[in-house]
Each structure stands twice: as structure tokens, then as C-alpha cells.
Amino acid sequence: MLRNNAITSVLRGAGLSAPITVTWEVTNRCNLRCVHCLSGSAPDADTSAELGLEEAKAVVDQLAAARVFQIHFGGGEPFVYPGFMELLRHALARGFCCLCISTNGALLNERRIAELEAIGGIYLQISLDGATEASCDAIRGAGAYRRAVAALERLRGSSIVRTVNFVLTRQNAHELDDMHALAGRCGAILRVTRLKPSGRGAEMYTSMRPTQGQLATLHRWLTGHPDVLTGDTFFHLNPFGGTALPGFQFCGAARMTCLITPNGDVFPCAFTQQEHFLAGNLRQENFQHIWEHGEVFNALFRKKEGDACSACPAFEGCGGGCPAVKHALTGRLDIPDPDCVLETARAGIDSAPLCHG
Amino acid sequence: MDFSKCYRFARGFSLRRESFGGILYHYEGKRPDPRLYFIDSPFLIGLLELLEEGPLDELIAQVRAHFHLSDPQVASIREFLTTLASRGAFVAQ
Ligand code: SF4
Ligand code: SF4
């Protein structure tokens, strides 16, 4: 009901007693091989260490016991995980009322859509990284656009909540209006998210990273399109000024969310999958224990100070930006976001310097 | 809302205690984002945890006595419950 200081201090500091959402990459196998895939997933990904269905159900039980509110399944392509539909039914039976699934849509045939509708509580995020076949397939591979749009067509008339997920890049940033229209035509809400240097995205980051000019345009555009969701990934743009973007204005990793990988590793979020950030593994420890005692969570993510950003007048609105991007590009967490609006303006360059040594 | 009745949470609502009070989560199922109510009032959390134990009027009276609540505090609880009821939070038992 209220956002007072005590609440803010928990949200920005020690974190909640359990996540609001747990992101769970159930497999690294995928029928596509997108050039920017955050988890480096592919058709030939090694699945030998993945949690089996019974192990996965036990993880659902642990998440329910921890009173996690919702699960966001991703991958890879979650629908290629053997027993995925059974896992969804198990989660619903354990009381989860919202199960979000990030999918490329290729496996959403009529029968599966009917099954999902019957399960209930499903929210689909369908990835499309361009408003035309050419721009989308340049990122997601030949046929990806047609298959995703066909899935959206099949979903027309169903009661399943759905968004079109669009990762903004230098190459597709000019397509915002077209993406908005496309999502609307397909009965979906547009969800724009930030490209991050994770998985294959790390290799492609330099060439795909949006320019500051594009980010400024995006910020203005988002302000004028309150119906568009962002997954709270653009709060680092708030220092451009004007009304703050809706949602949380800081990183929720290890405070409100975390990631489970296919083999049960637990990380602060989907974009921090490096040994350095490993908090524990669910084959060895219980979820609640990892959430409360994970050393990485407590030492690196649960603190209110902004380090180099502490004295910045914009800190309240931007929280210092995304730790995953900072660390991937510089190996540090105590510096401003590499796309920091003020730093780049000060330096008069297109992107902030990657070294703050 | 009829405060003389006993209620439970409707599907889509879930309550969790936190150090500052608690969070009431609501996934409505018609749009992507859930609604989160950050509640910093221990008596309101206590009351919501007891929801199924008896008629609301009785629960409010218990919480009022336990926490020595003033009339305005009780009025704000009733207002909050009415708002939640208007968003479909409760099902009469
Ligand atoms: S210096 Fe830090 S707090 Fe200030 S705008 Fe840049 S990233 Fe945000
Ligand atoms: S580290 Fe970055 S990507 Fe991960 S939750 Fe925080 S802001 Fe989001």
C-alpha cells in the first residue's frame, strides 16, 4: 500500500525474504541460435547436466515453500524441455497463479495452446526482434519471424496473456513504432528490453549496442507509450529527465529476483551467469538457504550504497544502472553503468568509457 | 463489502510477510504485470493473515484491541479492505 523508507530500504538493500519472481532457464537447448542469446543456447546444447523432471518438480516445491510469487520459465526454448507441460501443471497445483514463459513461439501449435489455456495462469512472452522478416531474422535466424507471427496468429482469440518481447539493438532501434503496431495487431502488449553483454550477446555487444542517441529517443518514446512494458530494464535512462519510467528504479537481482539455470545453479539474475556470481546449487542446497545465505547475494548485491554513483544527483532515479552490464564490460560493480547518461554526456561520447581504473 | 461475513483470498492473491510488514501479490490474469501492494502496517498484515478465521468485523475488533488502534486507524483499515474487495481480492466463505 505504501512505499515508505522502511520498504525502500529493504528493496534497495537487504532484499525481500524471498523473490517476487524466479527466472528459471529449464534448458539450454533451443530450436534457434539467435546471435544475441543471453544464455548462449543452441539446438546442439549439452543437456546432460539438466535437472530431470522429478528434480525440477522438487525445485517447484521449494519455491512454493519459500513463498515465491511467480516463476518465469525461459531457456533455451522451454517447450523443448521434456515434461515441461507436466512441470507447469505441477507448479499450478503448488499454488503458483502466474507462470510466465519466454518462448520463440515455434512450438506453439493449436494443441499446445489449448493445453496451456486449460492449465490457466499462463503468460507468454514471444520473442520478435524486428518488425520485418528481414530485420528479425537477421538476429534470430531464418524463419524465426514467420514462426513467431504464426504463433501469435494462432493465439488470437485465446485468453492467454501475451507480450511481444523486443530486444532493442542498434540495428532495430528505428522500428519501435512498427513493433508497437505489430504487437497491437497480434493482440499482444509490446515489451521492450535492454540488450546485455551476456551469452552470445557478449560477443555481439559492441556491434549491436544502441547508441546514446538511440537510447535518448527510446527514453522519449517510452515516456509517450505507457502501455509498453520494459521489464524494468531501462531505469538507467531516467537521468535523461522528465517523469521516471514506471516500475522499479534499481536492480532487483538477489533482492527481488534471481535465476536458476538448467543444472540448478542459482545466480543473481539471468545476465550474471558467471562463476564469480554463483550463489549455490539446488542439488546441494535448499532454495531458501541459498536465497538467505548466498555469499554472492549478500556481499555483492544487497547494499544500498552506489559506490562511484553515491554522490550523483540522479542515483535515486537510476540506481547506478545494471550490475550485469558493468561487470561484463569492465569487471567491476562499483562504477556507473557503461551507458550512464550523465557520464557519456560529460565525456561527449557515444558510450561511456569502459575503464574507470 | 459486507464486514459481517467471513472471507478468503480469491485466486491470484497471495500474501507474504516481510521485515517491513508484508507484500500482497495479485495476478489478475488479464494483463502481464502483477500488482504488488507493499504493506508496512503490522496490524493490517496480521488481519489479512487471519482472514479465514472469522467475520471481518470480529477480526478488526481483535486487531484493534491487540494493537490499541485509534478510530482513524480502524477507518483506514476498512478503507483498504474495501479497495481490495473492489479489486476482487475476497471470496465470501
Ligand atoms: S553516475 Fe551513476 S547514478 Fe548517476 S546517472 Fe550515472 S549511473 Fe546513474
Ligand atoms: S543485474 Fe542488470 S539485468 Fe540483472 S536484474 Fe540487475 S539490472 Fe536487471
User: What residues does ligand 1 touch, defined as CB less than 6 Å away?
Assistant: A 239, 306, 309, 312, 314-315, 318, 320-321, 336-337, 340-343
Q: Which of B34, B40, B41 sits opposite A69 (nearest CB)?
A: B34
- Predicted pLDDT at A3: 52
**Encoded amino acid at A49, one letter:** A
Atom of ligand 2 nearest to the CA of A250: 7
Scan for cell 515508505, then name that residue.
A4
* A17, three cell numbers: 525474504
Q: Which of B12, B25, B40 sits opposite A6 (nearest CB)?
A: B40
**Encoded amino acid at A99, one letter:** L
Compute the distance between CA of residue A306 and CA of residue A91 in angstroms, rounded to an integer: 37
User: pLDDT tens-digit profile of A229-257?
Assistant: 999 899 999 999 888 898 888 899 999 99
Query: A286 CA to middle of ligand 2, Å?
Result: 23
Tell me, yes or no, if A229 comes closer than 8 A to chain B by beta carbon.
yes
Which residue in chain A has the smallest CA separation from B80? A1
Q: Which ligand is nearest to the CA of A344?
A: 1
Please indicate whether residue A272, judged by its CB atom, sits closer than 6 Å to ligand 2.
Answer: yes
User: pLDDT tens-digit profile of A153-190?
Assistant: 999 989 999 999 999 999 999 999 999 999 999 999 99
Compute the distance between CA of residue A238 and CA of residue A222 in angstroms, rounded to an integer: 11
Tell me, yes or no, if A126 comes closer than 8 A to chain B by beta carbon.
no
Asked whether the predicted pLDDT for residue A356 surpasses 70, the reply is no
3-class SS at B92? strand
Pick the CATH number of B7-87 from 3.40.50, 3.30.310, 3.90.930, 3.30.70: 3.90.930
- Predicted pLDDT at A11: 87
Question: Average pLDDT, stretch A89-108?
Answer: 97
Residue A305's pLDDT band, with cuts at 50, 70 and 90, is confident
Tell me, yes or no, if A65 comes closer than 8 A to chain B by beta carbon.
no
pTM over 0.90: yes
A340-346: long-range contacts, CB 8 A cutoff, minimum separation 24 = A340/A236, A340/A239, A341/A212, A341/A215, A341/A216, A341/A236, A341/A237, A341/A239, A341/A240, A341/A314, A342/A239, A342/A312, A342/A314, A344/A212, A345/A212
